[in-house]
Structure 1
């Protein structure tokens, strides 16, 4: 995550500040603010071009030029969000019963076997070498986020997922870039 890279070693150098516009254009601003860098005692300067989740600190590209770039923010699934225990008319949580009886915890993660870890490592290595990709791509937050979504979907469906349903074509990505930009 961008936020983690910014705060490593200097957690008090950055914080998320509220969008203090009088007329907020999107309900996303209840969960998002702007990342800001410390410039003095209790003074922070907004980092332009980004919006961050108050809860999990996920940071996304954002343009404040009125282009409507907040439309992707409400789709954010907060990795730190716990199941809501407060119920109000505007905030009702509905999900299968096992979602409430088996909460996700760090200890409920399954540890891969050494053989499986090595197999994954080998496949990444072959991919990078055969496609002449940078080895640093393995630490790219976008790759990590995408793989986490795939793992979460596997857990949701509790079974095998067809890889062709996961992978998309270059044309589909290109079309989606244009769609998300609007």
Structure 2
């Protein structure tokens, strides 16, 4: 491969072992992998634009919450006085938002999907419909 782009300092060409000889490998054409996290992308005609958008999870900022702490963080303590109805509804909504976030993270991580998938317009349309349903349901609940 003619290495002309600086992206090749962060990406390499994945290889597979040749079955008959354990010490020999062949590169897998039209694929590249991050050298740190091994996320693999398909590319054609030396076009590196798709791999340039890669956000390596190994380069996480020190201020960004780690996945482990996200799942182990405890909810905030509640007050000792009985909560109002609107406080209860807010608490339920907050808990549901956290559940949805965790489900998204699990979906992305377990499926080895790029985190950018949550920016997909089709997925956002589905989620917006869910939010609209929730908004209507919340309005109905407040009138009871």
What TM-score, normalized by structure 1, do the two folds share?
Answer: 0.39
Q: Indicate the structure (1 or 2) with the bigger Cα radius of gyration.
A: 2
Report which of the two has the higher share of helix.
2
Higher RCO structure (Cα 8 Å, ≥6 apart): 1
What TM-score, normalized by structure 2, do the two folds share?
Answer: 0.48
